[in-house]
Chain A
Amino acid sequence: MLADCLLIIAIAFGTALAGEGITWLLVYRSDQYKRLKAEMDKKTKKLEKKKQEVGDSADKNTKKKLEREEERLKATNRDMSMFKMKSMFAIGLAFTALLSTFNSIFEGRVVAKLPFHPIGFIQGLSHRNLIGDDMTDCSFIFLYILCTMTVRQNLQKILGFAPSRAMARQQSNNPWAPQQSQMNYLR
């Protein structure tokens, strides 16, 4: 079981590395993306600074000005997302196919023993395609998702592909705009 565990960690590392590599080839290294990212960073920092300077005691005009800048920022963010979307979609498809291949290799195999009893909806993942009632048996997909969560985020941070904190804060102000890079665990 430990060998399977280590193999899955290696697979997650490999796929995350390949994913980031392909994204770099298709997106991150292009001049247009670099320009959009720099613009986005600059605008976000400027807006944050202005918001801090103004505080709560802003008059109507200043508030309108800030709102306009926020709108411009959203437009740049939209441009960036559109630019990324096509290649991300292609990569997503390729890695979903790869995942289903791995899934069929590990089908019905207990890859690890869970040190806890998973609650209802998690059991659907942690006990997927496994025979028996022992809910502490762990399936490939559960461990793979956990590994991808940790490897992907750390890799992006090390390579400098993670969105800046100022940008993340701006995005988190909008509850309908989750960070896409952090949501694609299955990729």
Chain B
Amino acid sequence: MSSPKKATQSAEPTVASTFVKALQPGSEWPDKDELLDVVYWGKQILSLLVGFVFGFTPLVGLLAIISYVCISSVVAQHYVTKFQKVDEDDVGGFWELSKEGFGAAFATFMVTWISTYTSLNQ
């Protein structure tokens, strides 16, 4: 039989507990994959927001795509290092953070951007 302390430590994090931790600055992240999951979903929400804003503005062309890539990478990096105060290298470095969920997030941005732009420029 394992002790209660050990049981708590090995307990799987719930969505609610991860959400609370994600919003609190400087939370403890013993499981780095949990933090990467937060980064993944954060990027999805950010992509939706950026897509709407760029579509409404409207910001067009290659400049918008480059801006999105920069915003997405910088925000993810700042969230981990400045807000959560986790060493970047613990989660694989800047490149790993930028890559985390990039394909899906970029597609989310594109779909939102194109749909919003289309609705305003039919």
A residues near B (Cβ < 8 Å) are 1-2, 5-6, 9, 112-117, 138, 143, 146-147, 149-150, 153-154, 157, 164-166, 182
Contact = CB atoms under 8 A, between A and B. Distances in A.
B69 interface: no
Contacts of B52: none
B104 A112 contact: no
Interface in B63-112: 64-65, 101, 103-104, 107-108, 110-111
B58 interface: yes
Interface residues of B, number: 28
B30 interface: no
Contacts of A6: 115
Q: Please indicate which of the listed interface residues B58, B115, B122 has the most CB atoms of chain A within 10 Å of its own CB.
A: B115
B64 A116 contact: yes
B9 interface: no
A165 B61 contact: no
A5 B59 CA distance: 19
Contact of A147 (B36, B40, B111, B117): B111
Contacts of B117: 113-115
Nearest to B92: A169
Contact of B114 (A5, A153, A157, A166): A5
Given A115-B114, A116-B60, A146-B110, 5 more contacts: A2-B118, A5-B118, A115-B64, A115-B113, A149-B104
A10 to B, nearest CB: 12
Given A1-B118, A2-B122, A113-B117, A146 B111 contact: yes
